[in-house]
Amino acid sequence: DTEVTQTPKHLVMGMTNKKSLKCEQHMGHRAMYWYKQKAKKPPELMFVYSYEKLSINESVPSRFSPECPNSSLLNLHLHALQPEDSALYLCASSQEAGPGTDTQYFGPGTRLTVL
Partner 1 sequence: EDKVVQSPLSLVVHEGDTVTLNCSYEVTNFRSLLWYKQEKKAPTFLFMLTSSGIEKKSGRLSSILDKKELFSILNITATQTGDSAVYLCAVGGGSNYKLTFGKGTLLTVNP
Contact segment (CB under 8 A) with partner 1 among 18-26, 60-68, 69-77, 94-102 equals 94-102
Helix, strand, coil percentages, rounded to 5, for the chain: 5, 55, 40
Mask for 31-70, x = binds partner 1 (CB under 8 A): x---------xxx-x--x-x----xx--------------
**41-58 as b/e, with b when 16 or more CB fall inside 10 Å?**
eebeebbbbbeeeeeeee
CB of 103 to partner 1, least distance (A): 5
Note the residues at the interface with partner 1 (CB under 8 A): 2, 4, 31, 41-43, 45, 48, 50, 55-56, 88, 90, 97-100, 102-109
